[in-house]
Structure 1
Amino acid sequence: MSASKVLVVVGITGNQGSSVANAFLNLQGWHIRGITRNPSSPAAQQLTSKGVEIVKADLDDIASLESAFHGASAIFSVTDIYNHMFNPANFPKAQEAGISVNEYACNLETTQAMNIAIAANSPAVSSTLTHFVFSSLSDTKRWSKGKYTWNFHFDGKAQAVKRIREELPDLAAKLSTVQVGMYASNWKGGLGRPQKQEDGSFVVQIPDGPEVELPWIVVDRDTGVYVKVLLENSPGKNVLAYTQMTTWREFWTLWADVRNVKIDIKVVGLDDYFKTLPEFLSREFQDSLRYIVEFGYTGGDPDVCCTLQDLSPEARTASLKEYIEGEDWSSLE
């Protein structure tokens, strides 16, 4: 291996992980190693064809993670609560434990995040590791002072960061966090998806509430931009990653302007906005959105104070206009 540094990406076949890999693929001096449970998957094979080293590891198996991290200079890690939340096997387990499936999934996500951290902190890995970048989100319960308690997809990650700082001080000294904003591509999941009318115009729903600016991100491009600059800086940085700050209404108005279509923006209550989701997920997303509107995406955490330009004045993200121009919207026709 001729590269002087090894970047290991946990979750490399997902939106965030693949963005990080792509940001480093053509950089001299870096070798990219991706972690996956299934190296033969199409996504893993596509990365292999680009020169990424794909290795098999399991987030529930610390020994496999230690092996996969061997020789790493830097690790980027992202965990996924939704795999646990939608696993049918976890519903009876949550019921038996007397908690919601959301909380059960949250606990599993935190456990896997700590498995990653424990492996990264092991002597064999720690000897070469200089940076550990963890994709986190803000501590809802803490920053809302207990007002919002069902934002588990935030709090599981925040709990992992808290535990790393308390339990693994050596790794904590190498830790930076990136809080990834709201995906500009979320419409693909159905929520807020523009509906074409007979006259060729579109109707789109946005949730009721104060129209605050939100951190939208072109996740499969710009996550890598932020992680790259975190690795160019000393550890200890905490940054909110976004492409552009804008309101729901401004986002869809821009979309209509760029695509030269008419749009009717309908403001609906949160119950209506999330009505197509299962109850457990609707409650989760309603709490999450109320928290973001009232306290901000980072909850006002004073430690999340770096901007992209603070870290690297030359670094640039995409724009939402560029995203809209480059996205495939044919499924709306």
Structure 2
Amino acid sequence: MTITQDGSAPLIAVVGATGNQGGSVVRALADSDKPYRVRGFTRDPRKPAALELSKLGVAVVGVTFVVENKDEVNKAFTGADFAFLVTNFWEHVDIDREIAEGKLLIDAAKAGGVSGIVWSGLPSISKISGGKFPHVWHFDGKAVVTEYGRQAGVPFVDVQAGAYGTNFFNLPFAPEKQSDGSFALQLPVNPTTAIPFIDTTLDYGIFVRYVLELPVFPDGGEFAAYAENISVKDLTRQWSQATGKNISFAQITVEEFKQRLESAGFPPHIVLDLSEALVSWDEFGWKVSAIPQGLVRSPRKWADFVKATDWSKLWETTAGPRK
């Protein structure tokens, strides 16, 4: 059924409603057989993606979730029953800013009187590695916000997204074109190292919907949103089979990996972040919980994602993947 305007239906406030995760949440709620009202936040309510949400019945609200806009942010969640919160580290690559904005969202949702918060977090690589890898800021910042949220006094659930399928269009996950026309996925991990893959725009929202539709909101819960744990070796093999391209996996050294990122113009702290992320993933694994039973449908696996995706721009590149 479509999103309703009936005041008796629960109102879900969705941050990043025109983005990958927030947009997926909105679509999953729109597809539900249960009625929902949705308030979708975006910085520009006039852009095409926001106008499409309006057609679905979403109450689109223009707001910028930054600390400098605190007073406006604190009004945003008033009257909402539940809130979906997400931050975007890659927009500014600043862990302190991400933590501050994540805490701002939690405080604002609490001030708005919500009955529960669903937060898009990630595990702490520092803790998983026993302090060996303390610089994976794009994971650790979200983990700090998670701990803050769990102490906020509002029922709180963490729904962690796995590795986006769209990551494979860009460094460091895009394969590089070789002189013979083949492609090589070059990472500092073993071929058997596995990642929790998710087609984010299609499937992340069904995990959030699962949480919202449980008989009791699972305060303190942690869920991993992914379709399968797939090794990089199997990933490249299935990629080749589905596309007809010759794609292989090549394990490279950490120094080689860093040089690739530096050559592509990544700032030093992000070179360190991504390098430690991959090495920790290889050594300790990406810690995820089991896929919850009772999802409305099975999430799409890697092979089907590959078949459904237009990779033409990637194949056309002649100097390796673009940043």
TM-score, normalised by the number of residues in structure 2: 0.85
Given the alignment of the two structures, is residue 287 of structure 1 paired with residue 292 of structure 2, yes or no? Answer: no
Q: Once the 2 structures are TM-superposed, how far is the Cα of residue 198 of structure 1 from its aligned partner?
A: 7.4
- Which portions of structure 1, spanning 4 or more consecutive aligned residues, are displaced by more than 3 angstroms? 194-199
Aligned counterpart in structure 2 of residue 19 of structure 1, from 20, 24, 32: 24
Q: State the partner residue of 2:39.
A: 33
Question: Could you tell me how far apart the structure 1 residues matched to 2:176 and 2:289 are?
Answer: 38
Q: Does 1:204 align with 2:184?
A: yes
Which residue matches 2:321? Answer: none
The match for 1:2 among 6, 10, 15 is 6
Given the alignment, which residue of 254, 257, 269 partners 2:238? Answer: 254
1:269 Cα shift?
2.1
| CA displacement at 1:314 relative to structure 2 | 5.3
1:145–1:7 distance in 2 versus 1, CA, 3 Å = same
**Contact 1:76–1:132 under 8 Å retained in 2:** yes
Query: Aligned partners of 1:239, 1:320: CA distance in 2, in Å?
Result: 20
Query: In the alignment, is the contact (CA less than 8 A) between 1:134 and 1:176 conserved in 2?
Result: yes
Write out per-residue CA displacement over residues 222-275 of structure 1, whole angstroms, 9 at most, x where no aligned residue.
111111111122222201111211111211110111123333433322333341
The 5 Å alignment of 1:227-238 reads 227-233=208-214, 234-236=217-219, 237-238=221-222
Equivalent residues in 2 for 1:45-56, closer than 5 Å = 45-56=51-62
Give the conservation status (yes or no) of the 8 Å contact 1:206–1:248.
no
| Corresponding residue for residue 90 of structure 2 | 82
Native 8 Å contact 2:188 2:278 kept in 1 = no
Structure 1 counterpart of 2:123: 138
CA drift at 1:74: 1.4
Which residue identity lines up with residue 133 of structure 2 in the other structure? Y
Counterpart Cα distance in 2 of 1:74 and 1:306: 24
1:159 positional shift: 0.5
Which position in structure 1 is the counterpart of 2:80?
72
The aligned residue for residue 91 of structure 1 is none
User: How far apart are residue 52 of structure 1 and its match?
Assistant: 1.9
- Name which of structure 1's ranges 16-25 and 287-296 shifts more when overlaid on structure 2: 287-296
State the Cα distance separating 1:131 from its structure 2 match: 2.3
Distance in 2 of aligned mates of 1:107 and 1:313: 35
Q: In structure 1, what is the Cα distance between the partners aligned to 2:211 and 2:115?
A: 12
Three-state SS of the structure 1 residue aligned to 2:239 is: helix
CA apart distance, 1:165: 2.4
Q: Does 1:240 align with 2:221?
A: no
- The residue number in structure 2 matching 1:110 is 99
TM superposition shift of 1:112? 0.7
- Whether the 8 Å contact between 1:203 and 1:266 is mirrored in structure 2 is no
Distance 1:264 1:144 in 2: 29
Output the amino acid matched with 1:115.
Answer: L
Q: Say if 1:121 and 1:263 are closer, same or farther in 2 by CA, change over 3 A.
A: closer
More helix by share: 1
Q: Secondary structure at the match of 1:161?
A: helix
Distance in 1 (alpha carbons) for counterparts of 2:179 and 2:124: 45
TM-score after normalising by structure 1: 0.83
1:225 — aligned with what? Answer: 206
Percent of aligned positions that are identical? 27
Question: Residue 328 of structure 1 corresponds to which residue in structure 2?
Answer: 310
| Equivalent pair of 1:192/1:204 in contact (CA under 8 Å) | no
The letter of the residue matching 2:239 is W
CA RMSD of aligned residues (A): 2.0
Shift in CA distance, 62/329, structure 1 to aligned 2, threshold 3 Å? same
Cα offset for 1:21?
Answer: 1.0
Letter of the 2:200 partner, please give it.
V
AA aligned to 2:218 is P
**Structure 2 Cα separation of the partners of residues 175 and 320 of structure 1:** 30
Residue 296 in 1 paired to residue 280 in 2?
Answer: no
Deviations 1:199-229 (A, max 9, x none): 6x52122313333221011111111111111
SS at match of 1:72: coil
Paired letter, 1:218? D
How many residues are aligned here?
Answer: 298
Tell whether the 8 Å contact from 2:162 to 2:226 is kept in structure 1 after alignment: yes
SS at match of 2:17: coil
Which range moves more in the overlay, 272-281 or 20-29? 272-281
The CA distance in 2 between the partners of 1:267 and 1:291, in whole Å, is 15
Say if 1:205 and 1:268, in contact at 8 Å, map to a contact too.
Answer: no
Aligned-residue offset at 1:280: 2.2
1:162 aligns with 2:147: yes
Distance in 1, matches of 2:296 and 2:204, equals 16
Contact persistence 1:225–1:316 (CA under 8 A)? no
- The letter for the 2-side match of 1:143 is I
Distance in 1 of aligned mates of 2:167 and 2:257: 13
| Structure 2: stretches of 5+ with no match in the other structure | 317-323
**Who is 2:301 aligned against?**
319
